[in-house]
Amino acid sequence: MSTILLLSCPDQHGLVASISNFVSDNNGNIISLNEHVDLDEKMFFIRIEWENNDLSISNNDIITRFKPLAEKFDAKWRIEFTEHKPKLAIFVSKYDHVLQEILWRSKLGEYNTQIACIISNHIELEILANSYNIPFYFFPITNDNKLHQEEAEIELLKKHEIDIIVLARYMQILSPEFVSQFPNIIINIHHSFLPAFMGGNPYKQAFVRGVKMIGATSHFVTNSLDEGPIIAQDIIRITHKDSVKDLVRKGRDLERLVLAKALHLHLEHRVLVHKGKTIVFE
Amino acid sequence: MSTILLLSCPDQHGLVASISNFVSDNNGNIISLNEHVDLDEKMFFIRIEWENNDLSISNNDIITRFKPLAEKFDAKWRIEFTEHKPKLAIFVSKYDHVLQEILWRSKLGEYNTQIACIISNHIELEILANSYNIPFYFFPITNDNKLHQEEAEIELLKKHEIDIIVLARYMQILSPEFVSQFPNIIINIHHSFLPAFMGGNPYKQAFVRGVKMIGATSHFVTNSLDEGPIIAQDIIRITHKDSVKDLVRKGRDLERLVLAKALHLHLEHRVLVHKGKTIVFE
Amino acid sequence: MSTILLLSCPDQHGLVASISNFVSDNNGNIISLNEHVDLDEKMFFIRIEWENNDLSISNNDIITRFKPLAEKFDAKWRIEFTEHKPKLAIFVSKYDHVLQEILWRSKLGEYNTQIACIISNHIELEILANSYNIPFYFFPITNDNKLHQEEAEIELLKKHEIDIIVLARYMQILSPEFVSQFPNIIINIHHSFLPAFMGGNPYKQAFVRGVKMIGATSHFVTNSLDEGPIIAQDIIRITHKDSVKDLVRKGRDLERLVLAKALHLHLEHRVLVHKGKTIVFE
Amino acid sequence: MSTILLLSCPDQHGLVASISNFVSDNNGNIISLNEHVDLDEKMFFIRIEWENNDLSISNNDIITRFKPLAEKFDAKWRIEFTEHKPKLAIFVSKYDHVLQEILWRSKLGEYNTQIACIISNHIELEILANSYNIPFYFFPITNDNKLHQEEAEIELLKKHEIDIIVLARYMQILSPEFVSQFPNIIINIHHSFLPAFMGGNPYKQAFVRGVKMIGATSHFVTNSLDEGPIIAQDIIRITHKDSVKDLVRKGRDLERLVLAKALHLHLEHRVLVHKGKTIVFE
């Protein structure tokens, strides 16, 4: 079990010293430290993970003790404890591949998470949810009921105390009201190397353009469609022999792996967001 | 020495048989054959390369004899002879890396080409051209003299009987008049994974968007800027640590290799253009 | 539904013409043709796929009619019909990831195959087999009963008329007697970029050596351990931060995808074996 | 101008705090910090780079002041100053591509280095050395004169106060006597994904084995041939169509880029060696 601090603040003298002294003074042993200074923006970013040697210090104590330091630095920060398993909600429609991948990895123990529920606007994937004993909630969406259904979803997510929302090829655009409730915790997978081929049917767009590679991009959802901070991207090569159907088939592998990676990074608290971009401390 | 036929036509019964019989009847031995059928468009594409066992048949004979067959198929086609070294003109501005790469590969014997001339709107790379003993022509471009200079360039290119034009990070947009003179023989390198980041400063655009990979795209030049048929693309990974300057440095390697590959494919007559896309017979 | 000819023979004049004439004369329409000439070995390889326009010609007729041509060429050859679904047997031990991948892809319709049975020396994956309604056979292996159990397995495989055997992380070495019964139809996945790290514990070996990438290799099984003809390989990057456990986790993704690709190629009859190497007509 | 500390020592409480306090107390501002803890070996590794705000502290002062701390930690360490350009010697034979790449990158300003001399057992590349105005020394090697020539080379390298030796496809095996003089500062490029295809003719070996990718590996030279600590590796895909000559051509690009990257990492003081492996702080 370890403790992770993620922090960003204006760069200033002695930041690493202050923070590492804090860890040391609280009897922690640093096992991982990543730091980034943006020299143009004069911003400082850090992820620091330590083991607690002194078990008499509670998690609440750590947070209370760190607060004055963070305020001094004028920092945005959060402290995470790996003993806490973040709660995950997965939104799906009809495609199963990304969901399969997350469920399978979770079962294998790759993810420090608890999959609290699966939410869908279609009924097809209920069987898969059941086979993993995960609650499945069916919220059919029409133009008329969309906002109403989203309100019900939000209530459900709050009830489950959800920490992370994954859109695993969820084929609905979430409303600004919904998105604004969950800043930087909704992770989407888009099936193109963004910013190429934003919007619908990216494989068809890629085919028509005649690109020689297709991609997938996992990003945090904001209210600018497909323009949220990018967490992970990857590509594979294609040729003139590939039809749109082939792109869909080949792209599935990318979508699964890229989202799986983004989720892994997020669950290990390795992703900071700053001005529409991510700092990923791999 | 071998002969290469590149052909596209509406798909129909017996095409491969007819073409391979033609080769066989003319005493050729096929050493390479690539074929593609677009089942949606009902189009047939082929690249076939053969060695001539009967040296009494001249290159002109081959073309004359093939013509009736091609007409029967309603085909677009060309026949190339590897004993002919295509003549290359390279357009550059101030950056030397893509030019260096082509000159070095050419000297090593990787390319079946003769570099006939280097044309630039700046004087800086004359020294490099001289060191390889290649004629260098300086055509400074202003808003006022652009069309006039392009006319002089066209005249020069015709005089040199240029077969291929490479834009090796040439920082000028060619006029529609110029481009229309050289359809599907002007190869450009754009420093992004097109269609992402078209236009100017793609590395800056990539930095601002926060993508996790940058790319390069080599394509034939048409009068739609950065929208010509794509020949080759590649990407490399970047992180939040990379400044725009780092992207420029890392991107140079991509630009060199992607253009080098596209030129290699074109010089081996492996690229067919159909409806704004390429068939690349690798 | 289409017909596929895979053929290799000494290179000679008029091969493509003869074969394409055969297709044309039998009223076929070629939809894909790949050809390779090894100029050093003077060997000719071809994969040609055609649709039958004349349904009065039976599959047996095609084979009977082609035989004299093949004999004339002194060829090794086979003709496959895509209407026939090859029967697959999958051997597993305790790891489920490669099996999961094949089952999932098969269910999605990516593979033209019928998974006839799953054979294991452990009982753990019976549940997974059952969930896909595929017969599961348990053959525990000890040093004493190995040959005896293999005989029973061979009998079972013959009874099921198995066309392809996949070793999906099967943790037993098959005896020479077993392997010799199934030449070039047993596909294995080895978790290294062969020939590096042959034998046991390749991830541990990779960790100890300090390589900067790990790989996976899918190959046909021969009686030289890890030395059979390679069908597909891929790698991912690792760093000093990765423990052996991380390599195992990251490698799983490679193993799944590389075996899945090799199986896809084999099921589309795109792989020819010649002198311990493969020709893969992608 | 900045200062870089590279340090490894047994892991212990308060290391980052002590080191960052040292930087802070000496009026430095940390601009980059990478840290790695090997939990199995209980070893700590760090690279920390800072700018000096107080110019009254000399480089010698920094080293003198840090020494007691390093001794307390029982550390292996070095402090580098980016104002110092390390001196490079490049060993070549007849192939020019890796040398070209280094010279070109150096000229572009990618490397913080001074290329002090080029040493060769052949005369062919003298022209290239001259064109960059770099001293070229010709040491022809025979079985009889090898040790004697190496002694002369060592003397020359000492005279030039060489910091780094690059073997840019130098086709001689250095004697143990030579190697032992320059531990962890001789960088070689081997044209395979080590440990596959050690020794001579790796492209031929790769061709014979029928692998589907070839690689290149840059490593520090030790007295176990091709077994030194690996700094960087990369691969490209090949197919059955590639002859040994094609592998040589395609491999050249890998060799150039992989060595260029390894040299870049080393010149930025990002590489630590521990027990035959590298920690690369990218």
Q: CATH code at A37?
A: 3.30.70.260
Q: Which residues of D touch B232 (CB under 8 A)?
A: none
* Minimum distance, in Å, between the CA of residue C249 and any CA atom of chain A: 8
* Catalytic residue selected from C25, C38, C226, C253: C226
Q: Which of B81, B103, B119 is the last residue of a domain?
A: B81
* Minimum distance, in Å, between the CA of residue C227 and any CA atom of chain B: 28
* Neighbouring subunits of B (3+ Cβ pairs under 8 A): A, C, D
Of C147, C167, C12, C7, give the one whose Cα is nearest residue C75.
C7
For residue range C212-255, list pLDDT tens digits in order: 999 999 999 999 989 999 999 999 999 999 999 999 999 999 99
Domain of residue A143 covers 87-280
For A222, residues 6+ apart whose C-beta sits below 8 A from its C-beta are A179, A228, A229, A276
Q: What is the mean pLDDT of residues B243-259?
A: 97
ipTM of the complex: 0.96
Please indicate, yes or no, whether the overall pTM of this predicted structure exceeds 0.80.
yes
Contact criterion met (CB < 8 Å) for D17 and A13? no
Contact criterion met (CB < 8 Å) for A110 and C249? yes
Percent of chain D whose pLDDT exceeds 90: 97
Q: Which residues of C2-39 are buried (b: 16+ CB within 10 A; e: fewer)?
A: bbbbbbbbebeebbbbbbbbbbbebbbbbbbbbbbbbe
Contact criterion met (CB < 8 Å) for C253 and A257? yes
Q: What is the mean pLDDT of residues C43-53?
A: 95
Position B238 confidence tier, pLDDT thresholds 50, 70, 90:
very high
How many helices and strands in chain B, by DSSP H and E? 8, 13
Q: Examine the pLDDT at C64 and tell me if it is beyond 90.
A: yes
Residues A36 and A108 in one domain: no
Contact criterion met (CB < 8 Å) for B17 and C24? yes
Confirm or reject contact between C209 and chain B (CB < 8 A).
Answer: no
Q: What is the mean pLDDT of residues B241-270?
A: 98
Confirm or reject contact between C280 and chain A (CB < 8 A).
Answer: no
Residues A44 and A133 in one domain: no
Q: What is the mean pLDDT of residues C106-118?
A: 96
Closest CA in chain A for residue B40 = A243
Residues D179 and D119 in one domain: yes
Where is C36: in which H helix or E strand?
strand C28-38
Contact criterion met (CB < 8 Å) for B30 and C37? yes
Tell me the pLDDT of chain D averaged across its residues: 96
Position C55 confidence tier, pLDDT thresholds 50, 70, 90:
confident
CA distances from C151 to A255, B45, C144, C223 (A): 43, 50, 13, 17
Phi, psi (deg, nearest 5) at residue B38? -90, 105
What is the predicted pLDDT for the residue at C217?
Answer: 98
Confirm or reject contact between D273 and chain A (CB < 8 A).
Answer: no
Q: Which of A19, A54, A81 is the last residue of a domain?
A: A81
Mutate to test the interface with C, among A101, A108, A169 (most CBs of C within 10 A): A108
Residues B123 and B216 in one domain: yes
Residues A42 and A131 in one domain: no
Position A55 confidence tier, pLDDT thresholds 50, 70, 90:
confident
* Minimum distance, in Å, between the CA of residue B48 and any CA atom of chain C: 10
Q: What is the mean pLDDT of residues A187-197?
A: 98
**How far, rounded to the nearest angstrom, does the alpha carbon of residue B254 sit from its chain's CA centroid?**
16
Tell me the pLDDT of chain A averaged across its residues: 96
Position B217 confidence tier, pLDDT thresholds 50, 70, 90:
very high
Percent of chain B whose pLDDT exceeds 90: 97
User: In angstroms, rounded to a whole number, what is the distance separating the alpha carbons of residues C20 and C16?
Assistant: 6
Residues A71 and A93 in one domain: no
Residues B70 and B127 in one domain: no
Q: What is the mean pLDDT of residues B140-144?
A: 94
For A257, residues 6+ apart whose C-beta sits below 8 A from its C-beta are A101, A216, A234, C253
Closest CA in chain B for residue D238 = B282
Q: Which residues of B touch D257 (CB under 8 A)?
A: 253
Residues B71 and B97 in one domain: no
Of C132, C174, C171, C133, give the one whose Cα is nearest residue C157.
C174
Confirm or reject contact between B35 and chain C (CB < 8 A).
Answer: yes
D 137-156 near A (Cβ less than 8 A): none
| CATH number, domain with residue C159 | 3.40.50.170
For C268, residues 6+ apart whose C-beta sits below 8 A from its C-beta are C112
Q: Which residues of A67-91 are buried (b: 16+ CB within 10 A; e: fewer)?
A: eebbeebebebebbeeeeebbbbbb
Phi, psi (deg, nearest 5) at residue D233? -145, 150
Confirm or reject contact between D257 and chain B (CB < 8 A).
Answer: yes
Q: What is the mean pLDDT of residues A57-66?
A: 94
Closest CA in chain B for residue A231 = B212
Residues B146 and B274 in one domain: yes
Tell me the pLDDT of chain C averaged across its residues: 96
Residues B128 and B176 in one domain: yes
Percent of chain A whose pLDDT exceeds 70: 100
Domain count, chain D: 2
Residues D194 and D107 in one domain: yes
Phi, psi (deg, nearest 5) at residue C17? -60, -50
Handedness of CA C196, C202, C207, C208 (dihedral sign): negative
Q: Examine the pLDDT at B56 and tell me if it is beyond 90.
A: no
Residues A45 and A183 in one domain: no
Q: Examine the pLDDT at A26 and tell me if it is beyond 90.
A: yes
Neighbouring C-alpha atoms within 13 Å toward the C-beta of A177: 10
For residue range C3-28, list pLDDT tens digits in order: 999 999 999 999 999 999 999 999 99
Tell me the pLDDT of chain B averaged across its residues: 96
Q: Examine the pLDDT at C131 and tell me if it is beyond 90.
A: yes
Q: What is the mean pLDDT of residues D236-265?
A: 97
Percent of chain C whose pLDDT exceeds 70: 100
Handedness of CA A194, A198, A202, A208 (dihedral sign): negative
What is the predicted pLDDT for the residue at D177?
Answer: 95
**How far, rounded to the nearest angstrom, does the alpha carbon of residue A261 sit from its chain's CA centroid?**
9
User: In angstroms, rounded to a whole number, what is the distance separating the alpha carbons of residues A21 and A7?
Assistant: 15
Q: Which of A60, A81, A102 is the last residue of a domain?
A: A81
Position C56 confidence tier, pLDDT thresholds 50, 70, 90:
confident
Q: Examine the pLDDT at B203 and tell me if it is beyond 90.
A: yes
